[in-house]
């Protein structure tokens, strides 16, 4: 809750959303709302509980540097397959 108060008092920061994402329903919306009231969270914060599947994106392909001079390797694109930057 300390982080919540760090944005208080500035006219550009009026509404905030805390979005706990869970793969299983560990807490429901009513429980999180209750916790916000217990800790006296600022009223400009709104918790939104989201429950959904856990999926991961494919890791990017490690490609050689484009300039040909650097010895490091970088991730250049998110899709699996051969490097497209050669």
pTM of the model: 0.56
Domain ranges across the chain: 2-51, 56-86
The C-alpha atoms of residue 83 and residue 25 are separated, in whole angstroms, by 40
Q: Which residue has the higher pLDDT, 7 or 20?
A: 20
Q: Closest by alpha carbon to 52, among 20, 14, 11? A: 20
Task: Take residue 14 and report the two structure tokens written for it.
Answer: 């009026």
pLDDT in tens, 20-67: 999 998 999 999 999 999 999 888 899 999 999 887 766 655 555 555
Please, what sign has the CA dihedral across residues 25, 30, 33, 37?
negative
Cβ-Cβ contacts under 8 Å for 58 (sequence gap 6 or more): 78, 79, 80
């Amino acid at each position: 809750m300390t982080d919540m108060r760090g944005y208080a008092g500035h006219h550009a920061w009026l509404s905030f959303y805390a979005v706990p994402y869970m793969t299983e329903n560990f807490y429901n919306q009513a429980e999180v709302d209750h916790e916000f009231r217990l800790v006296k969270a600022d009223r400009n914060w709104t918790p939104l509980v989201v429950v959904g599947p856990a999926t991961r994106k494919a890791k990017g392909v490690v490609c050689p540097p484009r300039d040909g001079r650097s010895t490091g390797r970088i991730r250049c694109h998110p899709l699996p397959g051969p490097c497209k930057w050669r």
